[in-house]
């Protein structure tokens, strides 16, 4: 008796493949609704973007099935010859794009990548300098409730009171006094260019590792729209999504050799690159997500094209245009503007919280996130700011003229936050605006 039908994974469609709609109509219906939402709303979250159909195809590919614990040429499972080729391809593309000596593409995301950096460079209770979250930093840069703030001694540096930009003179003073082992440069809500050369000088003066977190700006760096930290930093970490338009994963770039090997790691037989790799596997992770590495390889191929460079350059132009249009409407922006892909609306003098305004914008089809601002008087759960980002709308093909239009829509909602009829009208206007553009990964299929 043939029982093969009982072993089928799902109901096959006309091409012999499992159909999501047939296997799980509930999840399929949620997917369709999400597609519809993304077709008809303005994605202005700075950390979100649209992956191409090619990236999505690789993410959901047969590589999902493969277990490949270890590294190319040193796996703990057989049958990984093709996987080795794939991972080496992603590594070489990444090194070439950023000009790095070493690359690791296995971190599951940005925070695990940062955790691996800590494990590779530091010992528990070593001092770490980073930008606090209210000033635009990230949880893993030494925030109190994160592992980086509990396992290590945090030494925050801040912004200049007037400019709201990094105060490099003050940073140097703190570093000389505290002598940290590691200094982070990077953030999640800092709308200006980082001065990597100045940070390198400070790190050299105190024998500290300089690590750049480029999760938000990796695509801008590849496009030449933001300085490249690789020549200046010991290690560079990143997510593989956001502005670089890849899958949800992470990567780490580094030098091969450690300039502080003799000072901090005298008894280690491993150079910097090898310590990074060992921190990722086997110290923190098991098997890598090969399907994500495949999608990263595709995204890096796309990032090497002239069209990607144009997209990155236009992203910054769009962010600047959106910032200027909001300034002209009387809004306050953290640092007074932007040099990259994001801007932070400072709404502390407005009657509602950042969260309340973000919720009203979302009902009107404008998707943002509430965010702390420097010196925020409100609780982090509600905040006094809103973070806006240009990558996703730029990926749709929008330009400066649409940014002015978007600023007007935002202004309409924020000026009349309790006018639901107005919000419904804005929602229709947003849908009409989006209908004039293609959504990568959805309308290009």
pLDDT digit string (tens) for 190-221? Answer: 999 999 999 999 999 999 999 999 999 999 99
- DSSP-derived pairing of the beta strands 366-367 and 127-130: unpaired
CATH of domain 62-303: 3.40.640.10
The residue from 140, 239, 315, 383 that is catalytic is 239
pLDDT digit string (tens) for 261-289? Answer: 999 999 999 999 999 999 999 999 999 99
Q: What is the C-alpha to C-alpha distance for residues 32 and 348, in angstroms, rounded to an integer?
A: 38
* Count of C-beta atoms within a 10 Å radius of residue 172: 17
Question: Is 241 annotated in some ligand binding site?
Answer: no
Annotation marks residue 242 as catalytic: yes
Annotation marks residue 69 as catalytic: yes
Mean local confidence (pLDDT), 422-442: 97
Q: What is the C-alpha to C-alpha distance for residues 318 and 321, in angstroms, rounded to an integer?
A: 5
Give which of 375, 367, 370, 358 is closest to 414, Cα–Cα.
Answer: 358
Copy the structure tokens of residue 214. 């480029």
Copy the structure tokens of residue 127. 């001092």
Which of the four CATH numbers 1.10.3210.10, 3.40.50.10420, 3.40.50.300, 3.90.1150.10 does domain 310-435 have? 3.90.1150.10
The residue from 248, 259, 278, 317 that is catalytic is 248
Question: Is 137 annotated in some ligand binding site?
Answer: yes
Please report which confidence band the pLDDT of residue 2 belongs to, taking 50, 70 and 90 as the band edges.
low
Annotation marks residue 245 as catalytic: no
Peptide bond into 282 cis (omega under 30): yes
Annotation marks residue 269 as catalytic: no
Which residue reads 């580094």 in tokens?
254
pLDDT digit string (tens) for 389-403? Answer: 999 999 999 999 999
Task: Decide: pTM greater than 0.75.
Answer: yes
pLDDT computed for residue 443 by the predictor: 75
Annotation marks residue 71 as catalytic: no
The residue from 87, 135, 213, 346 that is catalytic is 213
**Close Cβ partners of 239 (under 8 Å, ≥ 6 residues apart):** 109, 110, 113, 215, 218, 248, 249, 250
Question: Is 333 annotated in some ligand binding site?
Answer: no
The residue from 154, 242, 275, 320 that is catalytic is 242
Domain-wise residue ranges, the chain? 62-303, 310-435
Mean local confidence (pLDDT), 179-192: 97
The residue from 24, 48, 57, 69 that is catalytic is 69
Q: Per-residue b/e over 277-316, b at no fewer than 16 CB within 10 Å?
A: bbbbbeebbeebbbbbbbbbbbbbbbbeeeebbebbebbb
């Amino acid at each position: 008796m043939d029982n093969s039908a009982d072993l089928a994974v799902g109901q096959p469609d006309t091409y012999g493949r499992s159909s999501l709609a047939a296997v799980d109509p509930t999840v399929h219906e949620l997917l369709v609704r999400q597609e519809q939402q993304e077709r008809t709303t303005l994605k202005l979250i700075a950390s979100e973007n649209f992956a191409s159909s090619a990236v999505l195809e690789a993410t959901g590919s047969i590589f999902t099935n493969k277990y490949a614990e270890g590294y190319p040429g040193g796996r703990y499972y057989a049958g990984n010859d093709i996987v080795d080729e794939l991972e080496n391809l992603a590594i070489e593309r990444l090194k070439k794009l950023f000009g790095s000596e070493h690359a690791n593409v296995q971190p599951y995301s940005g925070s695990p990548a940062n955790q691996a950096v800590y494990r590779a460079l530091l010992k528990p209770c070593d001092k770490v300098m980073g930008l606090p979250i209210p000033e635009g930093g990230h949880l893993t840069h030494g925030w109190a409730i994160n592992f980086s703030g509990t396992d290590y001694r945090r030494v925050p540096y801040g912004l200049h009171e007037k400019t709201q930009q990094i105060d490099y003179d003050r940073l140097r003073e703190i570093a000389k006094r505290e002598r940290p082992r590691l200094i982070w440069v990077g953030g999640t809500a800092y709308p200006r260019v980082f001065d990597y050369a100045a940070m390198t000088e400070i790190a050299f003066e105190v024998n500290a590792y300089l690590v750049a977190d480029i999760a938000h700006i990796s695509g801008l760096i590849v496009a030449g729209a933001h300085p490249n930290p690789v020549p200046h930093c010991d290690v560079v970490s990143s997510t593989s999504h956001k502005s670089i338009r890849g899958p949800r994963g992470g990567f780490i770039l580094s030098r091969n050799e450690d300039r502080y090997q003799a000072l901090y790691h005298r008894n280690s037989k491993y150079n910097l690159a090898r310590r990074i790799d060992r921190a990722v596997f086997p110290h923190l992770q098991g098997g890598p997500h090969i399907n994500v590495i495949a999608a990263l390889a595709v995204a890096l191929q796309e990032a090497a094209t002239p069209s990607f460079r144009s997209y990155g350059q236009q992203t910054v132009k769009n962010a600047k245009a959106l910032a200027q249009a909001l300034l002209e409407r009387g809004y306050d922006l953290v640092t007074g503007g932007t040099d990259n892909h994001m801007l932070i609306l400072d709404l502390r003098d407005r009657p509602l919280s950042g969260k309340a305004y973000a919720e009203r914008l979302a009902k009107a089809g404008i998707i943002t996130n509430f965010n702390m601002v420097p010196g925020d008087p409100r609780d982090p759960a509600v905040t006094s700011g809103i973070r806006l980002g240009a990558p996703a709308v730029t990926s749709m093909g929008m330009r400066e003229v649409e940014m002015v239009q978007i600023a007007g829509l935002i202004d309409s909602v924020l000026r009349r936050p309790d006018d639901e009829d107005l919000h419904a009208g804005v929602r229709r206007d947003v849908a009409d605006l989006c209908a004039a553009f293609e959504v990568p990964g959805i309308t290009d299929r």
